[in-house]
Amino acid sequence: MLVTIDDIRRAADSVDGVVLRTPVVGSPVRPDLLIKAESLQPTGAFKVRGAVHAIASLSDEARAAGVVTHSSGNHGQALAWAARRAGIPCVVVMPEGSAPVKVEAVRRLGATVEMVPAARRAERAQQIAEERGLTIVPPYDHRHIIAGQGTVGLEIIADVPSPAAVLVPVGGGGLSSGVATAVRALSPATRVIGVEPELAADAAESLAAGRLVTWPVEQTGRTVADGLRTNLSDLTYAHLAARLDGIVTVTEAEILSTVGSLAREYRLVAEPSGAVAPAAWCHHAASLRERFGLGDGPVVAVVSGGNLDPALLATALQT
Amino acid sequence: MLVTIDDIRRAADSVDGVVLRTPVVGSPVRPDLLIKAESLQPTGAFKVRGAVHAIASLSDEARAAGVVTHSSGNHGQALAWAARRAGIPCVVVMPEGSAPVKVEAVRRLGATVEMVPAARRAERAQQIAEERGLTIVPPYDHRHIIAGQGTVGLEIIADVPSPAAVLVPVGGGGLSSGVATAVRALSPATRVIGVEPELAADAAESLAAGRLVTWPVEQTGRTVADGLRTNLSDLTYAHLAARLDGIVTVTEAEILSTVGSLAREYRLVAEPSGAVAPAAWCHHAASLRERFGLGDGPVVAVVSGGNLDPALLATALQT
């Protein structure tokens, strides 16, 4: 069963006053492109929304016992942050070889980190859950996570009542499933367009094929947008097939040049995964207007996160 | 007569739904420092608040005739933006030799630009006002401008009810006068601390001397914080003398390193003038807590703007 707008409204009750009500930011340079700046969330990414709602949805007993996940990126930080806010234990299983700065970030948020060989991550998280009675909170393959991320779409339509389109990045599909659900329910005339790196276009291929297609990590690992290397799950595929108006792709050069444009024109620091949705508009606005039959109004692109290597940002500023 | 909290509440009615309700942004790296991100305003600086309220406060007849100012920076863009929103004419007198990118930014916002020798700017704006029946809107030396900028303080206290301190940059004194007025009225226990570049510390010297002291432009022109090279007016001096708890200064190196910290830790692009207030906390938190008797709670620093040369940001990211 797919997530509904009522599920997302319940998630809004969980996240209100806990996560940041992020602004929709404009720029006189591009009056047709507005940015929903999820990069400003406390851990630098939208992921706190799903994590907060997943924890809020647990029974009192399960919540008190704590949560566990495996992640080398934004979801681990988000869950650690949400667990600390809730005052409950959190374990994050991370692959050996994770960047020390990422391990340190999770520890600083008060979570216990367990390092294991990459191939044993999921198994180890499962084992910890069973041994210690913790609940596994997955990064996207869960209805509460999708509903939590969907609050991004709820807020967009509250601030910009009927945009021509909402552009959203597609990785594992949690954010895009939630946003598509909210926007279709609240503004049926608005098109919801997914955006992927050309080098990790598994979701575009899946929608074209009419079934879930996965790409091996050797392929998706080529994109600089490291948050979008993940494949869809059955659950997120079902949401996107039913609720997205389409998926488009962008090149690596388009992604990096948009990291620069967002800093110069919108004063926002976006990671490459975060710049993918606006990149589609910055580089293909005319063809998107035609393909999706968009009116003249502005579109809103979700910038999903802002955690990147400062040296990469410095490079992007000069493109 | 000084601006009151009721003046600022009226200004809030003018700006609500017109300018951006900017977020207060946090970072797990520095839980004690929150940022009021005025850099996200449509023209990249808080100045739209005063400009919108000044135009809203005109008589219908004066408003229809239009507005004029002289500015080479953020105020000219802000007035042009506000005039276009109000659908009225706007002339911005700019000094010959202004950066073409700044002239183009004002023109893109629909204002008429007149270039004159720098020494004739004020005189020419006055002349245009008389010839064409336009109203001069000054950048800071005006009660409506101070009240408009004060809405920043109103929003800070709405979002963070009783911070230990609010740190605000001091240039001409419009923003700091308004913010000090709002914060003292709404949260009397909160300290309001002005921050200046050491190289443009005319306001700190004025408060210490107990009278308005001006520094020549050859001196203030040395700081990289180009928005803070201006001296106070009698009106803003009177506000700061009555309502600031003190003024501290920061070095050029501290300002630039904070531009880098804001990008890395808060995902915000700040211009040097915009980084001055958080720079005081990043580099002198312990001594500020002691000097101003601050409790343990977080402080809020205003990042006033985000318009800077991308090459300078790239450099700051590597410090």
Please report, for chain B, the start and end positions of each structural domain, with discontinuous segments joined by +. Answer: 5-46+142-317, 49-136
Q: How far is B301 from chain A (nearest CA, A)?
A: 16
Q: Which tens digits make up the pLDDT trace of A199-211?
A: 999 999 999 999 9
Q: Does any CB of chain B come closer than 8 Å to the CB of residue A158?
A: no
Q: Do domains A5-46+142-317 and A49-136 have the same CATH topology?
A: yes
What confidence tier does B178 reach under pLDDT thresholds 50, 70, 90? very high
**Is residue B72 annotated as part of the catalytic site, yes or no?**
yes
**Is residue A163 within 8 Å of A186, Cβ to Cβ?**
no
pLDDT for res B73: 80
pLDDT for res A73: 80
Q: Which tens digits make up the pLDDT trace of A58-95?
A: 999 999 999 999 987 889 999 999 999 999 999 999 98
**Is residue B47 annotated as part of the catalytic site, yes or no?**
yes
pLDDT for res B119: 87
**Residue given tokens 């401008």 in the structure block:** B145
pLDDT for res A59: 97
Q: What's the whole-number mean pLDDT along residues A254-261?
A: 98
pTM: 0.96
pLDDT at residue B319 tops 80? no
pLDDT at residue A167 tops 90? yes
Q: Which tens digits make up the pLDDT trace of B234-243?
A: 999 999 999 9
pLDDT for res B208: 97
Q: What's the whole-number mean pLDDT along residues B256-283?
A: 97
pLDDT at residue A293 tops 90? yes
Average pLDDT, chain B: 96
Q: What's the whole-number mean pLDDT along residues A267-271?
A: 98
Q: Which tens digits make up the pLDDT trace of B87-96?
A: 999 999 998 8
The answer to whether A318 contacts B311, with C-beta atoms less than 8 Å apart, is: yes
Q: Count CB-CB contacts under 10 A for residue B220.
A: 22
Q: What's the whole-number mean pLDDT along residues B251-256?
A: 98
Residue of B195, B251, B260 lying closest to B223 (CA atoms) = B251
The answer to whether A317 contacts B310, with C-beta atoms less than 8 Å apart, is: yes
What confidence tier does B123 reach under pLDDT thresholds 50, 70, 90? very high
Picking from B23, B44, B263, the nearest residue to A21 by CB comes out as B23
**One CATH from 3.40.50.1100, 3.40.50.11030, 3.40.1130.10, 1.25.40.10 for B5-46+142-317:** 3.40.50.1100
pLDDT at residue A17 tops 80? yes
Distance, CA of B125 to chain centre: 22
Q: What's the whole-number mean pLDDT along residues B200-211?
A: 97
d(CA B108, CA B87): 15
Q: Does any CB of chain B come closer than 8 Å to the CB of residue A21?
A: yes
DSSP string, A161-221: SS-SEEEEE-SSSHHHHHHHHHHHHH-TTSEEEEEEEGGG-HHHHHHHHTS-----HHHHT
Q: How far is B260 from chain A (nearest CA, A)?
A: 9
Q: Which fold has domain A49-136?
A: Rossmann fold (3.40.50)
The answer to whether B27 contacts A42, with C-beta atoms less than 8 Å apart, is: yes
Token digits for A225?
Answer: 């947008």
Chain A residues whose CB is inside 8 A of the B77 CB are 28
CA distances to A36, A303, B315 from A22, rounded to whole Å, are: 7, 11, 28
* Dihedral-angle region of residue A267 (phi above 0 means left; psi in -120 to 50 means alpha; beta otherwise): left
pLDDT for res A106: 94
Percent of all residues in chain B with a pLDDT value above 90, rounded to a whole number: 92
Residue of A243, A269, A38 lying closest to A155 (CA atoms) = A38
Picking from B23, B105, B108, the nearest residue to A22 by CB comes out as B23
Chain A residues whose CB is inside 8 A of the B43 CB are 28
CA distances to A64, B168, B212, B243, B268 from B205, rounded to whole Å, are: 56, 17, 8, 16, 31
pLDDT at residue A286 tops 80? yes
**Residue given tokens 């023209």 in the structure block:** B43
